Amino acid sequence: MHRRSFLMAATSLAGAAMLPDLAAAEPAPPAAASAANPLLAPWRGPNGGVPPFDRVRIADIGPALDAALAESETQVDAIAANPAAPSFENTVAQLERSGHAEDRVGTIYGVWTSTLSNPEVQALETAEEPKLAQHYTRLLQNDALFHRLDTVYQARDAAGLTPEQKRLSWLYWNNRVRAGARLAADSKARIATINQELARNFTTFNQNLLADEAGYVLYLTTQDDLRGLPPDVLAGAASAAADRGHPGQHAVLNTRSSVDPFLTYSDRRDLRERVWRSFYARGDSNDVHDNKQVIRQILRLRAERAQILGYPTHAHWRLEVAMARTPEAAMGLMMRVWPSAIARVHEEVAEMQAIADREHAGLTIEPWDYRYYAEKVRLDRYALDLNEVKQYLQLEKVREGMFWAAGQLYGFTFAEVHDLPTARPDIRVFQVRQAENGPHVGYWYFDPYARVGKRSGAWMNQYRPQSTFDGPVTTIVSNNANFVPGAPNEPVLLAWDDAITMFHEFGHGLHALNSQVRYPSLAGTAVVRDYVEFPSQMNERWLPSPEVLSRFALHYRTGAPMPQELRDKITRARTFRQGFDVTELLASALVDMKIHLAGGADIDPAAFERAALAELRMPRELPMRHRLPQFGHIFASDNYSAGYYSYIWAEVLSTDAVEAFREAPGGLYDPGVAQRLRREIMRVGNSVEPAIAYRNFRGRDPDVAAYLRDKGFPTT
């Protein structure tokens, strides 16, 4: 997320026409400064410029960031000190014009800390994060600026502002109110200190987790170690071992993209247990990288901050501006789903146990058995072998399928460009246009492969937001994943869940690329946390469509399309293993909410996790998707804290929205519904309040029954 969006969200969350160079829309930095540090210079290149990834030296990032923060503060101080009466134009609009250098350098900083980390980058992060926290607090608590914003906000109707201007004025004003702008000086000072301490703890948490992911590798050295592993998993494991100086062996890395396939296919139960225990012990090994005390400090600081700000708990503070509004509403939704989810888990475990007993395995299903025996059940009940499905899911073809579906829904075309700088040679760039040879929409960067120093998982970044303020500026986005490269000249094959994840993260990218707002702070994905996942989860629904599978699910050897029989099996198995999938995610969301509702209590994270799961009657055969010591969503930043429920909340929206397509004559590709989706949801960013935007699209509020039907759960 670009730095302005981070600032604006910090307290509420989480064609070939050449466009003018960004330098035309902002004052150029002093020549000496930009010559000495190229990261401070406006971006150059086509379509408003692109990040100068080819000119980055780690040694330049810290000084550039410090200079950019100082420049932003000077600009904001000048706005605050303006002797003219406050107005939208001389206050809010000027804030939108500030911070360009900070946004640019922040993009580079974010790419290096999340995807190219090493000891030098980690030292940089340790030094800079407290400075960033201090900087954002200072901007949010600037008394003179808040007085001007308050004047503009209170006069918003009399001043004749447009709806978008009113929304932006409210956002600036409300973020500062929630950050403590109206507090006494001593309380403001304490909030500033808390934010800095939190930043240090977030960095420590993240670096501990990264160390545990990079520091443990299981090397498979005998043929017996490899039993059950399909060829593509073996190829990826061989490549991972060779990259780590163990040619001829196979490596299971301590990341989800490596662990999940091993747990699914390995016949070696003892090794499955070792891999499972290592993965779910990340951050919880009682060593130098243990995160439990870090969590304790984060929770204490969050609780104190909430109390100073006048909220009962951190959860109440966070949800005040979310769609849910209150923790009680979020908990109410989750607890409506929870009984059905765990009931389904018990059914799934019984089916797995029956197969294990039939095979005389002599075992009771444990967490490291779940994926393995679930596949046996899938074969037994549906004759669906996901390893067979994987042979039709080539990474490049899945990407092409994403592009095709986006073309059908939004009219976009994607063409690879080879002359723009990237942070690594294996990162690719695509130009996005509105129709073939139509106007330029933006750039999409694709960084799909795992490597040392890259955080695990998959995510979307926005390098630059769209806006039309002071001239058109197009967006630049990236999608990032951790797929293990295959053998040389062999395609990377994706598990079905990984292909779904690609469509999901691309949905975030499409949200940004569709944006058509005036002000950058309202653009694209700069929306509340329990709404931002809605477009991405909805985009997952286009992968299983016959139109995509028939065109792009091609066998990696023969090129033959996926047979209709196999596609039918996928459809019939749509609700299979939903007990596991919903329960592991929902357990994490419930524990996240419960721990942030605990207020100022001194919490032992390990004891709290055990007690909360026991109270929920969590099935012992599976863990939370993210145990607390590795729960980066909520402890590596504030972004999803007391907000992991957002995935469930947004899925209620997405399943209900997809039913609008299914009810239409054209199904998932109905042009009328697609146009309404684009007009009412995808284009408006945060310029319209999310509940209103959804109502404009659907004609009513969302119905949770659609979600329950989609999972195969009872609707009453």
Q: How far apart are CA 436 and CA 243, in angstroms?
A: 40
Cα 253 to Cα 219, 229, 240, 524, 693, distances in angstroms: 9, 15, 8, 35, 43
With a CB cutoff of 8 Å and minimum separation 6, the contacts of 499 are: 393, 398, 543
Residue 505 appears among annotated catalytic residues: yes
Q: What is d(CA 439, CA 432) in angstroms, rounded to the nearest whole number?
A: 9
DSSP 485: P
**Do 386 and 372 touch, CB atoms closer than 8 A?**
no
CA 687, CA 635: separation in Å to the nearest integer?
29
Q: In the CATH hierarchy, which top-level class contains the domain 3-140+142-178?
A: mainly alpha
Nearest Cα neighbor of 642 from 322, 341, 340, 336 is 322
Q: How far is Cα 519 from Cα 517, in angstroms, rounded to an integer? A: 6
**Beta-strand relationship, 440-449 and 475-483:** parallel
Distance CA 188, CA 178 (A): 12
What pLDDT is recorded for position 716? 73
Other C-beta atoms lying within 10 Å of the C-beta of residue 574: 12
Cα–Cα distance for residue pair 206/596, rounded to 1 Å: 19
Q: Which of 102, 505, 540, 651 is catalytic?
A: 505
Share of the chain above pLDDT 90, in %: 91
CA distance 67 to 75: 12
Side-chain half-sphere CA neighbours of 544 within 13 A: 18
Residue 19, pLDDT score: 27
- The whole-model pTM stands at 0.90
Domain parsing of the chain, residue ranges: 3-140+142-178, 216-280
Per the structure block, which two tokens stand in for 32?
Answer: 């000496």
Other beta carbons less than 10 A from residue 692's beta carbon: 11
Residues of the chain scoring pLDDT < 70:
1-35
- Of 584, 290, 219, 626, which Cα lies nearest the Cα of 456? 626
Q: What is the pLDDT of residue 4?
A: 42
Measured CA to CA, the distance from residue 582 to residue 580 in angstroms comes to: 6
